[in-house]
Amino acid sequence: MSFSVKLRVRYAESDQMGVAYYSNYFVWFESARTELLRESGHPYSEMEKDGLFLPVSECHCSYSAPAHYDELLEVRCLITEVRTRAVRFEYEVVREETVIAEGHTVHVCTDRNARPRLIPTHVRETLLKLAEPEACCKNQGRG
């Protein structure tokens, strides 16, 4: 299951030439990921109340075309890997059906003290249901 959010490039996110600054893509990734988790029934706010944190352990973005001030973009998010202690999200930034950037983030499950921990079973089961079918099957036993 993929999830997407639409956003418009804000003036503050662009440089003097009207081009969106590269680091904003990671903020946009977070927006899509946050909404995906909210829709799944496991919003970050609830997970954190339960002592479950998902800090980023890896991130990447490839840019194929610039985004410009005031353009409407769609940011697509998909879970592609669920392990016992980590989850991988893939992203596409799309302008008028053209993918202008692709990326991923990997998040490790930790407790309040930033110590790695297992993803709770009920959360992991939900994430597995949301993941691509191949990802669910091949990653169920990985750590």
Collapsed DSSP state (helix, strand, coil) of residue 99: strand
Residues marked as catalytic = 15
Query: Could you tell me which of 118, 33, 132 has the C-alpha nearest to residue 83?
Result: 118
pLDDT at residue 133 in the model? 61
Provide the pLDDT for residue 93.
98
What's 2-139's CATH class? alpha beta
**Prediction pTM value:** 0.89
**pLDDT, position 141:** 40
Contact at 8 Å (CB) between 110 and 94? no
pLDDT for res 2: 76
Domain coordinates in residue numbering, the chain: 2-139
As given in the structure block, the two tokens for residue 5 are: 């959010």
What residue ranges in 54-120 does DSSP mark as E strands? 56-63, 72-82, 86-95, 98-108
Residue ranges of the chain with pLDDT lower than 70?
Answer: 1, 133-143
Are 69 and 14 within 8 A, CB to CB? yes
